[in-house]
């Protein structure tokens, strides 16, 4: 789940029974007044979720594929213009990147926990780096510390910590306008 600065809450609901492929995941919007609205359905296994630094886009990871989807957040909180934004790297022996946690940094880079480590992509969706982990797939992570420049990542039964040169965005804070990606 991710909480926007205006109090809107976006939540992914993965399929309840993964063996039933006709059952699809949903993305929900829960408004500050408690009303609940389905804003998307159809991903195989909607999982990690994050807002862009300026909160105009919502990113949703599809755990059972190699895609991160983006949506434009409308003024009323609904979503529009769903598209595949990021093609994640994955192991040759698997069909999925097992995308889990998603976070963004102040310059608009999208960080994704996958079976290969934490993949870092620019806001245009181009992969820029992969931070591998010592013991396998990253389940989730966060930016923490006094300046939000330290990663804490859960990997199996371990938690790893790493200082980075990026500053993580906290979605509940005021939106910020990141720089445009280089072409």
Domains and CATH numbers, the chain: 2-163 (2.120.10.30)
Higher pLDDT, 133 or 151: 151
Other Cβ atoms within 10 Å of 63 Cβ, number: 22
Amino acid 18: pLDDT = 57
Amino acid 19: pLDDT = 56
Which residues sit opposite 5 in a β-bridge? Answer: none
CA 90/CA 23 separation, integer angstroms: 25
DSSP collapsed to 3 states, 109-130: CEEEEECCEEEEECCCCCEEEE
Amino acid 136: pLDDT = 74
Amino acid 142: pLDDT = 96
Amino acid 48: pLDDT = 95
CA 182/CA 87 separation, integer angstroms: 18
What SS3 class is residue 36?
Answer: strand
Q: Is the pLDDT at 133 greater than 60, yes or no?
A: yes
- pLDDT confidence bin for 135, thresholds 50/70/90: confident
pTM of the predicted model, to two decimals? 0.92
* b/e burial code for range 97-123 (CB count within 10 A of at least 16 → b): bbbbbbbbbbebbbbbbbbbbbbbbbb
Amino acid 24: pLDDT = 80
DSSP 46-103: EEEEEE-TTSSEEEEEETTSSEEEEEEEPTTS-EEEEEEEEE----TT-S------EE
Q: Is the pLDDT at 167 greater than 80, yes or no?
A: yes
Amino acid 50: pLDDT = 97
pLDDT in tens, 20-53: 555 689 999 999 999 999 999 989 899 999 999 9
CA 84/CA 96 separation, integer angstroms: 15
Please classify residue 142 by burial: count the beta carbons closer than 10 Å to its beta carbon, then call 0-12 exposed, 13-18 middle and 19+ buried: middle
pLDDT more than 70, % of the chain? 93
Amino acid 156: pLDDT = 85
pLDDT more than 90, % of the chain? 73
CA 102/CA 114 separation, integer angstroms: 10
Amino acid 91: pLDDT = 81
Per-residue pLDDT, averaged over 44-66, amounts to 95
Q: With contact defined as beta carbons under 8 Å apart, do 114 and 139 qualify?
A: no
């Amino acid at each position: 789940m991710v909480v926007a600065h205006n109090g809107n809450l976006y939540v992914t609901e993965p399929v309840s029974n993964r063996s039933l492929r006709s059952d699809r995941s949903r993305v929900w919007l829960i408004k500050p007044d408690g009303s609940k609205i389905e804003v998307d359905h159809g991903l195989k296994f909607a999982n990690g979720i994050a807002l862009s630094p300026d909160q105009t886009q919502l990113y949703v990871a599809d755990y059972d594929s190699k895609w991160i989807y983006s949506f434009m957040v409308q003024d009323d909180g609904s979503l529009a213009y769903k598209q595949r934004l990021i093609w994640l790297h994955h192991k040759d022996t698997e069909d999925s990147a097992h995308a889990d946690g998603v976070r963004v940094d102040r310059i608009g880079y999208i960080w994704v926990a996958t079976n290969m480590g934490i993949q870092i992509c620019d806001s245009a969706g181009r992969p820029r780096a992969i931070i591998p982990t010592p013991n396998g797939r990253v389940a989730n992570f966060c930016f923490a510390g006094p300046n939000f420049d330290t990663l804490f990542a859960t990997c199996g039964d371990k938690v790893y910590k790493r200082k980075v040169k990026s500053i993580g965005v906290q979605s509940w804070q005021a939106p910020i306008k990141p720089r445009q990606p280089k072409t």
